[in-house]
């Protein structure tokens, strides 16, 4: 406290010296004193008050207009000082929140990480990029001893840490299911009950689950209100939608899910995605699904991972490198 008073007295002396000498070296000393005042949390109104006292010491007969204007400045600085304190407090809280979110994002990346499997006869590519620090999308691959491949793709309608926690619950619930319950419709029915019991009713989760069977080269799938994907027929150079009826997870306790099956021919591709791909926004318009198909078609001849990377880069540039929503795309190609 004594040091603070000494600094303020020093300000008074510097002001007097400058008014008498107009020496610019004194201005530099005043700058250093200002920096020291910040370190000692001296408010702007305290400095103004000392400035007024020092000025009155030098010129006791100040005109009334000058005295009134200095009083006005002091009142203004009192309000400014309070606003500055509030701003600094909020900025510190924002910094703490951003730090916590950064830690949560790293934890989410660790908890929800999945290994891109090597499955005989399949070429697999996947990319998932969050629009912000926390990813509201989730994908996961599950391989069984018989060589089958399960693919889960989900999107939480909601963002931030609650969405990340919901996704973690989805993943670890799936890991707890026995191997004899890997049918897509059963997976979604079980997860629906988990979500309905444990997730806030305001938060909905869309999900797609598919199962590739290498023995008969078929792809079984079910959807809980998820964005329809595409199936690319290589021999005909055409797309059709991958779509199955089903409510979003958690909407009702006893939901059932339609299960469909698709024969996978050589060269054909399964394209799974979230609405961050199909609802890409450019200016005031949304990209049409036909445009999405065309972009995918332009790169479908590439290895699967190269293809998803190229598609992402295209839409990233289209949105001027600012994603409006989480972007997740999976391409599974049946090798020739």
> How high is the pLDDT of residue 2?
46
Tokens of 297: 């078609």
Instruction: Specify the pLDDT at position 185.
Output: 94
61: pLDDT strictly greater than 70: yes
- What is the separation of C-alpha 210 from the centre of its chain, rounded to a whole number of angstroms? 26
> What domains appear along the chain, each with residue ranges and CATH number?
2-95 (1.10.1240.30), 114-334 (3.60.40.10)
Q: Whole-angstrom distance between the N-terminal and C-terminal Cα of the chain?
A: 80
CA–CA dist 256, 185 (Å, integer): 7
Query: The pTM is what?
Result: 0.71
Q: What is the mean pLDDT of the chain?
A: 84
> Which one of 58-67, 87-96, 121-130 scores highest in mean pLDDT?
121-130
The pLDDT of residue 132 is 75
pLDDT at 228: 94
**Nearest-angstrom CA–CA distance, 65 and 71:** 10
Q: Using the 8-state DSSP alphabet, how is residue 320 labeled?
A: T
Report the alpha-carbon distance of residue 158 to residue 4 in Å, rounded.
50
Of all helices (H) and strands (E), which one includes residue 224? Answer: strand 218-224
Contact indicator for 179, 147 with CB cutoff of 8 Å = no
The residue assigned the tokens 């793709």 is 153
The tokens of 122 are what?
């399949």
With tokens 């049946």, the residue in question is 334
Q: Residue 150 burial (CB < 10 Å; 0-12/13-18/19+)?
A: buried
CA neighbours within 13 Å on the CB side: how many for 149? 23
* 213 phi/psi in degrees, rounded to 5: -105, 110
Could you read off the pLDDT of 264-303 as tens digits, one per residue? 999 999 999 998 888 777 777 778 889 999 999 999 999 9
pLDDT tens-digit readout, 141-195: 988 877 889 999 998 876 666 776 777 778 778 777 766 667 999 999 999 988 8
Contact 244, 222 (CB under 8 A): yes
| 230-263 pLDDT per residue, tens | 999 999 999 999 989 999 998 888 899 999 999 9
């Amino acid at each position: 406290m004594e040091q603070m008073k000494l600094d303020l007295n020093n300000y008074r002396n510097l002001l007097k010296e400058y008014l008498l000498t107009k020496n610019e070296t004194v201005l530099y000393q005043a700058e250093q004193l200002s920096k020291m005042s910040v370190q000692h949390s001296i408010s702007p109104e305290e400095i103004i008050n000392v400035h007024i006292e020092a000025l009155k010491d030098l010129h006791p007969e100040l005109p009334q207009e000058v005295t009134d204007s200095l009083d006005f400045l002091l009142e203004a600085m009192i309000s400014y000082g309070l606003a500055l304190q509030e701003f600094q407090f909020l900025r510190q809280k924002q910094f703490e929140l951003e730090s916590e979110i950064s830690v949560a994002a790293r934890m989410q990346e660790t908890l929800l990480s999945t290994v891109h499997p090597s499955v005989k006869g399949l070429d697999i590519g996947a990319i998932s990029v969050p629009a912000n620090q926390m990813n509201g999308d989730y994908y996961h691959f599950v391989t069984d001893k018989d060589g089958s491949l399960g693919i889960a793709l989900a999107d939480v309608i909601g963002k931030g840490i609650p969405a990340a926690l919901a996704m973690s619950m989805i993943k670890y619930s799936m890991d707890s299911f026995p191997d004899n319950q890997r049918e897509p419709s059963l997976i979604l029915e079980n997860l629906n009950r988990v979500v309905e019991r444990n997730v806030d009713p305001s938060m909905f989760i869309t999900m797609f689950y598919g199962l590739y069977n290498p023995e008969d080269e078929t792809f079984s799938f079910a959807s809980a209100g998820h964005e329809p994907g595409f199936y690319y027929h290589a021999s005909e150079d055409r797309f059709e939608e991958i779509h199955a009826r089903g409510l979003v997870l958690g909407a009702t306790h006893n939901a059932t899910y339609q299960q469909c099956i698709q024969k996978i021919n050589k060269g054909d591709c399964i394209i799974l995605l979230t609405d961050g791909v199909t609802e890409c926004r450019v200016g005031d318009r949304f990209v049409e699904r036909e445009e999405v198909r065309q972009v995918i078609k332009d790169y479908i001849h590439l290895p699967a991972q190269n293809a998803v990377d190229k598609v992402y880069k295209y839409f990233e540039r289209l949105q001027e490198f600012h994603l409006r929503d989480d972007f997740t795309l999976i391409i599974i190609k049946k090798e020739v």
